[in-house]
Amino acid sequence: MVTEIAQTLKLNEVQKSNLQLILTECSHYELTPKQKAYVIATAWHECKLIPCEEIGKGKGKPYGKKIKYNRSTYTTPDKIYFGRGFVQLTWYELYERFGNILNIDLLNNPELAMIPKISAEILVLGMRKGLFTGAKLSTFINDSRTDYIGARRIINGQDKNVLIASYATLIERFMV
């Protein structure tokens, strides 16, 4: 499976290693093959399977300033919570939430979201449990439904939903 996906997407060794980390995390949470395909498609779209920082580091976006969801400001920590990792984790509250869940200090050390193992945990757990937007993976992809286009709501509304669905459809062919 990894070999076929790696050949199709033309992955380098780092990308292959990260793909394996994501698949291991998917197995830990007992995701179905189609759910795994969508998770991989998301990480492929967001960062080509290499955790990265958002281009522009949130400049021009609300989360690119010291502002929380409710638009109140914060002064500490002295960090900006722009997109990082496989899924481009954003916002103070999400860094706080995942830091608490994973028992790591993401608020004071947001760069930890760039570590592949941590990034894979954030990606899979967040998508499975609906921790990003409230929408869960199982709502869109389950035994009776495969809605790769609608599944984008798990992460980011409908931004690039058709493109990511096409990646998931391609990757699904290799899932066992």
Tally the domains of the chain: 1
What b-and-e string marks burial along 62-92, b requiring 16 or more CB atoms within 10 Å of the CB?
ebbebbeeeeeeeeeeebbbbbbbbbbbbbb
Q: Is the pLDDT of residue 176 over 80?
A: no
| pLDDT for the residue numbered 22 | 98
pTM reported for the whole predicted model: 0.96
| pLDDT for the residue numbered 157 | 86
Q: Stretch 9-21: mean pLDDT, rounded?
A: 97
Q: Stretch 1-27: mean pLDDT, rounded?
A: 96
pLDDT digit string, tens, across residues 50-90: 999 999 999 999 999 999 999 999 999 999 999 999 999 99
Q: The domain containing residue 136 runs over which residues?
A: 2-172
Angle between helix 33-47 and helix 161-172 axes, rounded to 10 deg: 130
Residue 24 in contact with residue 54, Cβ under 8 Å?
no
pLDDT digit string, tens, across residues 38-51: 999 999 999 999 99
Q: Is 93 exposed, middle or buried (0-12, 13-18, 19+ CB in 10 A)?
A: middle
pLDDT digit string, tens, across residues 87-97: 999 999 999 99
Q: Is the pLDDT of residue 36 over 90?
A: yes
Q: For residue 126, give both structure tokens.
A: 């967040």
Whole-number average pLDDT of the chain: 97
CATH number at residue 73: 1.10.530.10
pLDDT digit string, tens, across residues 103-158: 999 999 999 999 999 999 999 999 999 999 999 999 999 999 999 999 999 998 89
